Amino acid sequence: MDAHITKSLTRDFRSVILKRMSLPTKSLVADDVQIVRRVLAHIDAGTTDEGEAWREPVANYLKPERFADELRLLRAMPSVFVPSAAIPNPGDHIERSVFGVPLFAVRGRDQQVRVFRNACRHRGFALVEGSGCSHALVCRYHGWTYRLDGSLAHVPHAEAFPELDHSTRGLVEVPSQEADGLVVIGALDAASSAGCKPDDEAMTWLTDGSPWREKLLPVNRLAYVDCTLRAMNWKVLVEQFLEGYHIRTTHKDTFYPLQYDDLNVVETFGPNSRITFPYRNIERLRDRPESTWTTDARVTYLYQLFPNVMLATFPDLVLMVVVDPVDVGHTTSTIYAMVRPEVAERSGRDPGPNNPAGEASFIARGAIEDNEMSEGVQRGLCSGANEFVEFGRHESAAGHFHAMLAGRLDRQARRR
């Protein structure tokens, strides 16, 4: 590996670590008892958390120029790449295109996760396809071979490349950090952030996992990965996760029998947010001592990790959903489903609706319903009926997402 690349990565992450050490010790989100109190109060009053309303111009979903600005921004800031559960053992590797850039992550023999641009240094062939486990990374085209740390190990017929310096032709690494069950990458496009300081603060908000650590770390088995191209703008896909105003009408036979319509607790921490979707069984806690209260199997937490990743907790299952913009009207949705080891063993023997990771589960059916609604929104945006998309005070997490995006785009425009 190129020595100057290694020094740069070390320097960048020293600043990130120092930033994390200065984080406040106060919890970024409410604890279980506080959440239950707030939910029960809303049930009694027939209310929900309220925030600022937001109007997003329809043109921001349809204009190629706006999409180009967003993609430039996304490539210039950190983002979550994959869950740690996707590559638990040395040699495990998995690939995904991030904002149009092909990448892969691999766990080395030293247990460290590294992220590389997915291209052989000979002719650029994509080195990793899908996922797998290998002792070394071998290009299928001409057999150039790389160690798990990215260094170039072997070139067939090396005499044909008399000026080749192995030490400078290792795989090209992307700055990354593994923390609290997630692998987070730094900016992909150095040119977009030229002249600017590294976005240490944005990295910190993605690597301080205190809000989700206890929910994510126990689910260390990957149940499945699904990647689907969807005909919608990426922001439309993000929005479907950020409110419970649609539960009754969209999910009348799936989520609504178990959950409440238009009843949420909304918390923000930095550019991120957490939305609590309570289950009706939370009312069973009313007559129990507060010291015994837990939200396990009584709420779904939805963590929106800005800009494009959602963590959704369900009983026995956590989903990580990554939203990757493709063009102004298409988005790739990648879902990583994770379970605890004992659930993995049980669900592997159960193909029916009781399998939390199965196609017949109410979670999977609810996701189909959400995507049908988002596809309908995308079609409606093109109708010319509206100048803006309306987000009410009960949809404040969606407004928060748009406000964070708008603020960063404004700063990017001023820099340019």
Is there a contact between 104 and 172 (Cβ–Cβ < 8 Å)? no
pLDDT band at 1 (very low <50, low <70, confident <90, very high): very low
The answer to whether residues 93 and 68 belong to one domain is no
Euclidean distance between CA atoms 358 and 365, whole angstroms: 10
Strands 113-117 and 272-278: unpaired
The answer to whether residues 240 and 352 belong to one domain is yes
The answer to whether residues 263 and 155 belong to one domain is no
The answer to whether residues 152 and 273 belong to one domain is no
Euclidean distance between CA atoms 334 and 322, whole angstroms: 5
Q: Is 202 among the domain residues?
A: no
Within 10 A of 204 (CB to CB), how many other CB atoms are there?
20
Q: Which range among 83-92, 272-281, 338-347 shows the weakest confidence by mean pLDDT?
A: 338-347
Q: Is 14 among the domain residues?
A: no
- Residue that finishes a domain, picked among 152, 186, 220: 186
The answer to whether residues 245 and 385 belong to one domain is yes
Is there a contact between 237 and 331 (Cβ–Cβ < 8 Å)? yes
Stretch 378-395: mean pLDDT, rounded? 98
374's tokens: 């988002």
Q: Which string of DSSP letters, residue by residue, matches 335-372? A: EEEEE-HHHHHHHTT--STT-TTSTTSHHHHHHHHHHH
Euclidean distance between CA atoms 130 and 222, whole angstroms: 14
**At 173, which CATH number?**
2.102.10.10
405's tokens: 């995006």
- Residue that finishes a domain, picked among 186, 204, 230: 186
pLDDT band at 307 (very low <50, low <70, confident <90, very high): very high
Q: Is 200 among the domain residues?
A: no
Write down the pLDDT at residue 348.
60
Euclidean distance between CA atoms 390 and 58, whole angstroms: 10
More confident: 345 or 118: 118
- Residue that finishes a domain, picked among 151, 186, 221: 186
Computed over every residue of the chain, the mean pLDDT equals 91
Q: What is the CA radius of gyration of the chain?
A: 22
Is the N-terminal amide bond of 307 cis, ω within 30° of 0?
Answer: yes
The answer to whether residues 130 and 234 belong to one domain is no
Write down the pLDDT at residue 227.
96
Write down the pLDDT at residue 245.
98
Q: Is 340 among the domain residues?
A: yes
Strands 221-230 and 265-269: unpaired
Rounded to 10 degrees, the C-alpha dihedral 303/309/314/318 comes to -120
**At 245, which CATH number?**
3.90.380.10
Closest among 194, 191, 205, 190 to 80, alpha carbons compared: 205
Q: Is 132 among the domain residues?
A: yes
Euclidean distance between CA atoms 320 and 310, whole angstroms: 6
Number of domains in the chain: 2
The answer to whether residues 61 and 105 belong to one domain is no
Kindly tell me if the per-residue pLDDT of 78 is higher than 60.
yes
Stretch 369-381: mean pLDDT, rounded? 97
Write down the pLDDT at residue 60.
98
User: CA 195 → CA 1, 147, 148, 198, 201, distances in Å?
Assistant: 26, 34, 33, 9, 17
The proportion of the chain whose per-residue pLDDT surpasses 70, expressed as a percent, equals 88
The answer to whether residues 228 and 92 belong to one domain is no
pLDDT band at 199 (very low <50, low <70, confident <90, very high): confident
The answer to whether residues 87 and 172 belong to one domain is yes
Q: Which pairs from 89-94 meet CB under 8 Å and 24+ separation? A: 89/133, 90/148, 91/133, 91/134, 91/135, 91/148, 92/131, 92/132, 92/133, 93/128, 93/131, 93/132, 93/133, 93/134, 93/137, 94/128, 94/130, 94/131, 94/225
Q: Which range among 24-28, 177-181, 385-389, 397-401 shows the weakest confidence by mean pLDDT?
A: 24-28
pLDDT band at 346 (very low <50, low <70, confident <90, very high): confident
Q: Is 167 among the domain residues?
A: yes
225's tokens: 């990965």
The answer to whether residues 62 and 129 belong to one domain is no
**Which runs of consecutive H residues, i.e. helices, occur in 22-171?**
32-45, 59-62, 64-75
Write down the pLDDT at residue 30.
98
Whole-model pTM? 0.90
Q: Is 369 among the domain residues?
A: yes
Write down the pLDDT at residue 312.
98
The answer to whether residues 174 and 292 belong to one domain is no
pLDDT band at 344 (very low <50, low <70, confident <90, very high): confident
The answer to whether residues 168 and 229 belong to one domain is no
Kindly tell me if the per-residue pLDDT of 96 is higher than 90.
yes
Q: Which residue has the tokens 């593994």?
A: 178
Euclidean distance between CA atoms 33 and 294, whole angstroms: 7
Q: Which domain holds residue 178?
A: 79-186
Stretch 384-409: mean pLDDT, rounded? 98
Residue range 357-369, pLDDT digits in tens:
667 688 999 999 9
Stretch 30-50: mean pLDDT, rounded? 98
Q: Is 42 among the domain residues?
A: yes
